Amino acid sequence: MYKDMVSILKEGESGNIALEKFEITKYDFRAIEEGIPFGKYIRLYDKKENEVIMSDTPYEKNTNLDFCIDAHGNVLIGGLGIGMILLAIQDKKEVDSILVLEKSKDVINLISPQLPLNKKVKIIQADVFEWNPPENSLYNCIYMDIWNYISWDVFNRDMMFLHKKYESLLDREHDDNAFMDCWGEWEIKQRYEM
């Protein structure tokens, strides 16, 4: 399902955002302890904040897999990242359109020109917390993937706010399988037994 992002994307920078390839070898003890297998990967990195925004490691793939499998109809995604989930769903026959909201112009400038996107995809610069959808917008799937870590605070503050803001845009009248989810939401609910 996932494309080889290391082959698709080239390293580069735009503003404070960098795209870097890296390799996990038998000498990378911390990565091995964290369960990252040997191999070549790519990450989106915020140089100013000194933190990884997203990568194509197995953890990222696994925690986004349910969304990629279930995506259908008209899809709204918050966060472009490296485009990994976008490329995983754009060719699905069950997906009609994909609108991606990305806050960072630097991420858009660095990533979107490198992605082999089809005509289903539209990327706009917008903050998911402030964006106002066009009137009568309805989606079958809404997925927010804007965090580089998960915590109770992220769940309680951000995810719950976004659910309240976007739930009304789900086309539940015509689609019994319409859903909204956030990256890491399941893990938080499991950890706190919700």
Rounded distance, CA 176 to CA 171, Å?
A: 8
**What is the pTM for the complete model shown?**
0.93
What is the residue extent of each domain of the chain?
Answer: 5-58, 59-191
DSSP 194: -
Rounded distance, CA 66 to CA 77, Å?
A: 14
Return the C-alpha torsion angle 170, 128, 66, 17, nearest 10.
160
Tens of pLDDT along the chain (194 residues)? 999 999 999 999 999 999 999 998 888 878 778 777 889 999 999 999 999 999 999 989 999 999 999 999 999 999 999 999 999 999 999 999 999 999 999 999 999 999 999 999 999 999 999 999 999 999 999 999 999 888 889 999 999 999 999 999 999 999 999 999 999 998 888 887 76
pLDDT the model gives residue 36:
79
Give CATH superfamily name and number for 59-191: Vaccinia Virus protein VP39 (3.40.50.150)
Q: Long-range contacts made by residues 150-156, C-beta under 8 angstroms, separation at least 24?
A: 150/183, 150/184, 150/187, 150/188, 151/188, 152/188, 152/192, 154/184, 154/188, 155/184, 155/185, 155/188, 155/189
Strands 121-125 vs 179-182: parallel, antiparallel or unpaired: unpaired
Q: What is the Cα Rg of the chain in Å?
A: 17
